[in-house]
Structure 1
Amino acid sequence: MHKSEARKLIEQARTAWEAEEWQRAADLYEQVLAQFPDERPSAEWWYDAALAHKFLRNWEKARDLGREAAARAPRGEGDPAFWNLGIAATILRDWATARDAWTGFGIGLPDGEGEIAGRFGAACVRLDTDGEREVVWIERLCPTRGRVVNVPVTGGRRYGEIVVHDGEPKGERVYNGTTFPVFDELTLFEASALPTLEVTVGAGEAADLEALLALFTEHGFGAEPASAVRVLCACCSEGTHQQERDVRAGAQAVSLAAPEHEARRLLERWAGETAIGRSWSGLEQVG
């Protein structure tokens, strides 16, 4: 292949990229890279080819081409080639590559080998399952994985599952004066064994409902009152929103994440702690 032909293929690849024809763009870049892997602009071509496969959710190709892109990028300077490589390697559970990618990006990791299980703070993730979208809170275990700490209302999603999220924030949530990013989900990494239940509770005071939520949390389970769920359009969801946990007195549905027998036991304990003001009924599994 002559360089003149390579230039034409690169132009075609960029045209395909602008049209979001990711497979065609990747194929064209790879044709050129097979002959010219180390030209001055080749780092950009490797990066775009890897990114196209990320968009296609072809994680093995995204990792393999991403390795080439990262090998031509400066380490420790936040180059996105390392971030995309870290995502692909994480999804493939290639922990050695993932650790090297995060370090190459400039992120400090917990010491050790294998799966990364650190404390990277709280964030939000926009779950996406068959077109249904829901923003939930997560505890970040690494730069791209987090454990869901809400009880999702989206069918098929569960408290405690681990998700992989993208690196570019798409919205913000402000809670107690602190701003947290909202990331888009890329894939479900690990399912949760905890079923989702729904129960109707009566709380004489807001403090009674707070006590129920705290009781489930103390036992490693989840509880989410219907009053805490807000519905936003897709456009508004990607904006900045003040986040508050609206806990009200009265009767309302509460979503629970716990084995049914444990949920029943804790509900009985909660209701029995006061003579009046606390009740529950209609416990059933919904997910």
Structure 2
Amino acid sequence: MFLLTAFLAVLGDRLFGYPPALARRIGHPVEWLGAMIGAMDRSLNRTHSHRTAGRMRGALTLALVVFASLAVTLPLALALRAIPFGFLAEALLAVAFLAQRDLARAVATVADGLDRSLDDGRAAVSHIVGRDPAELDESGVARAAIESLAENASDAVVAPALYLALFGLPGIVVYKAVNTADSMIGHRSERYRHFGGAAARLDDLLNLPASRLTGLLLAAAGGSRAALATMWRDAGRHVSPNAGWPEAAMAGALAIRLGGPRSYNGRPLDLPWLGSGRKELEPADIRRALALYAR
């Protein structure tokens, strides 16, 4: 167990995060993972392949990404653990794979944008959600931002911290490699329907414990039985096996409704509501969600 390393990394991410100057100079480690996945996508993904071949190529891509992540981080972690206070360096390196600070900043930008105008709010939320912002009213923009905050509290903070605590630096990097692969190729589009299947399934599996833990943490931070009750009642209604847990907990804690009918690429989706509170949301609700997240 690497609990102290995880605690220090989360604290470091909360206080200073990945230095912007370093990102400008050498890029971000998650971008390096993305570049590797993108290169293999271009080389191995053949949309005309039989579905079995597509799945095998996708599984090979995922295996190579995981192997490369381990090949770099495992020797490094072992070397650091062999020296006094090497865990401090391991924690410092792990900060790059957490996004607590960046997530809060991105979601706060949506609230600030909505304060100015609906168009500014739509522009800000387009950076953190996949749906078409032009179809969202103020309440829809606020709901999308809060849903993104809840889901990414699991994907970008709790899950990587959990795998860091369990397996050290290799654990958090492998998790981020799989999570990045899922975000890039784990879609149900024509191009990735077969190729991205392995990434999507492994990401779902890795996020099973973290999503439930995130829901419990949000419910505890909300300090109400309603949050816990809403999570147990509504989490399974979500189309994702994981996202419903933190989103339902957030909805219950704030006494609002998340989820619900929406449109993707012009196609209406009649999705169930999570929570039984207010439907009409505003920028103040985003800030309430951020305050809950910060606890």
TM-score range, shorter chain: under 0.3
Judging by fraction of residues, say which structure has more helix. Answer: 2
Greater gyration radius: 1
Q: TM-score, normalised by structure 1?
A: 0.25
Q: TM-score, normalised by structure 2?
A: 0.25
Judging by fraction of residues, say which structure has more strand. Answer: 1
